[in-house]
């Protein structure tokens, strides 16, 4: 069998990743946009609403509404900015960390179960090697 063209592999991989990502997100109990904000705060630490908006590529007003909803749910907290008294930092609350961990667990659990039930041992080996390759591409 001839080696497929890189452009063909790229299209098929992008399509498959998109479908898989949408399916895994289906397991979310918290809206995806909110999970995304919680994930950024978990990875990068506390930040201003403006910085969150820039990171998520949304308008500051939209992020302010999202942060407000997360605060109402007790998933984030606001605290004074250490160097600028006019600003506030948004950070994960303990409940937010627990909710994020639960979301990640649901996603990983669904995917692990799908891998176990749908793939042969040989296919699981191929998938594990492919994951390493995708990580390498993502880091490029």
The Cα 36–Cα 31 span in angstroms is: 9
Residue pLDDT, tens place only, 26-72: 877 888 889 999 999 999 999 999 999 999 999 999 999 999 999 99
For residue 26, tell me if it sits in a domain.
yes
CA neighbours within 13 Å on the CB side: how many for 128?
9
The Cα 61–Cα 38 span in angstroms is: 17
- pLDDT at 120 > cutoff 80: yes
Q: pTM, whole model, 2 decimals?
A: 0.74
pLDDT at 58: 95
- Which residue range(s) make up the domain with 39? 6-138
Rg (CA), the chain: 19
Dihedral sign of CA atoms 125, 109, 70, 43 in order: negative
Query: Which parts of 1-48 fold into alpha helices (H)?
Result: 6-25, 32-44
What CATH number is associated with residue 114? 1.10.10.10
For residue 14, tell me if it sits in a domain.
yes
Count other Cβ atoms within 10 Å, centred on residue 7.
8
- As a whole number, the mean pLDDT across the chain is 93
For residue 1, tell me if it sits in a domain.
no
For residue 123, tell me if it sits in a domain.
yes
For residue 112, tell me if it sits in a domain.
yes
Q: How many domains does the chain have?
A: 1
Q: What is the band of 85 on the pLDDT scale with cuts at 50, 70, 90? A: confident
The Cα 140–Cα 127 span in angstroms is: 20
Kind and range of the H or E element at 58? none
For residue 54, tell me if it sits in a domain.
yes
For residue 59, tell me if it sits in a domain.
yes
User: Could you give the percent of the chain with pLDDT greater than 70?
Assistant: 100
């Amino acid at each position: 069998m001839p080696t497929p063209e890189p452009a063909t592999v790229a299209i098929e991989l992008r399509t498959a990743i998109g479908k898989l990502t949408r399916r895994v997100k289906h397991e979310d109990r918290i809206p995806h946009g909110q999970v995304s904000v919680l994930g950024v705060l978990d990875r990068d630490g506390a930040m201003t609403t403006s910085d969150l908006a820039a990171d998520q590529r949304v308008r500051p007003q939209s992020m302010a509404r999202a942060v407000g909803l997360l605060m109402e749910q007790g998933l984030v907290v606001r605290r004074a900015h250490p160097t600028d008294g006019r600003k506030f930092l948004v950070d994960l609350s303990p409940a937010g960390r627990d909710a994020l961990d639960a979301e990640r667990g649901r996603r990983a659990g669904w995917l692990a179960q799908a891998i176990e039930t749908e793939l042969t041992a040989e296919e699981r080996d191929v998938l594990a090697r492919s994951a390493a390759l995708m990580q390498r591409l993502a880091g490029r």
